[in-house]
């Protein structure tokens, strides 16, 4: 969903070339789609590997249902794509191809029930309230349920700087602030601050884009290092007398 607070950013009327996801969004085949135009290439970069596969995706915040249509066409019939929204009117968007469940992204019981119905979770896309407290709550519940190698994506993180979403430059508790903490916790092996997220052992990478954060779930062992020697040096050492 697009929010304008600082400037009336221009609407772009044609898609970027060679971007399948943008072509689908602009095609008119979907219900209403409202995205920042630079998102499409970011999503293709991270999600193209899932095309044609039987993976499981949960979208938080379905608005008019257009993004669900976009994902369905892009990923194909094998994908399991669910949407959730707090707006009761979104129940009308429910289809067998892209089920929609009504509830809050800050309700742990509701989130777990949806994931159970899905039978697992490979990708989460948070396009919900855009408020830090809700984004963090969803992450705390859903990231542990994410399959190994899965992706957790938070969209529209520019709202971390906007007061009406509880944000502000450098303000703690925003999605961007929380993601920065995850980066610190990934490096907990090297500092004495106690990690507050599972990032030390369960996050493989955190990628920051303009208004999108992509967090990869990957089990990590404690880091180690190695010193190797050229074969000539090894042979010389073995033949030496001490």
CA angle 23, 105, 162 (to 5 degrees): 70
Calpha distance 135→155 (Å, rounded)? 10
Query: Which member of 130, 134, 191, 209 is catalytic?
Result: 130
Q: List residues bridging with 125 in a β-sheet.
A: 59, 153
Backbone angles phi, psi at 81, to 5 degrees: -120, 115
Answer yes or no: 209 catalytic. Answer: no
CA-wise closest residue to 150 among 77, 65, 53, 224: 53
Strands ordered across the beta sheet of 123-126: 100-102, 80-85, 56-60, 123-126, 151-155, 212-217, 203-209
The residues assigned a catalytic role are 130
């Amino acid at each position: 969903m697009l929010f304008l607070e600082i400037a009336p950013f221009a609407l772009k009327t044609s898609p970027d070339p060679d971007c399948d996801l943008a072509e689908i969004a602009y095609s008119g085949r979907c219900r209403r789609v409202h995205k920042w135009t630079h998102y499409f290439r970011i999503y293709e970069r991270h999600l193209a590997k899932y095309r044609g596969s039987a993976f499981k995706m949960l979208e938080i915040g379905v608005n008019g249902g257009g993004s669900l249509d976009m994902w369905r066409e892009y990923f194909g019939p094998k994908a399991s794509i669910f949407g959730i929204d707090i707006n009761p009117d979104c129940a009308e968007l429910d289809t067998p191809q892209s089920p929609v469940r009504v509830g809050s992204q800050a309700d742990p019981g509701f989130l777990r029930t949806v994931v159970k119905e899905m039978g697992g979770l490979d990708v989460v896309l948070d396009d919900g309230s855009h408020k830090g407290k809700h984004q963090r709550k969803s992450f705390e519940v859903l990231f542990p349920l994410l399959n190994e190698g899965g992706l957790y994506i938070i969209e529209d993180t520019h709202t971390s700087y906007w007061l009406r979403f509880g944000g502000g430059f450098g303000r703690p508790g925003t999605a961007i602030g929380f993601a920065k903490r995850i980066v610190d916790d990934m490096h907990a092996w090297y500092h004495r601050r106690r990690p507050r997220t599972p990032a030390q052992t369960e996050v493989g990478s955190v990628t920051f884009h303009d208004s999108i954060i992509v967090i990869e779930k990957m089990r990590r062992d404690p880091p180690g290092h190695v010193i190797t020697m050229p074969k000539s040096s090894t042979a010389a050492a073995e033949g030496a007398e001490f």
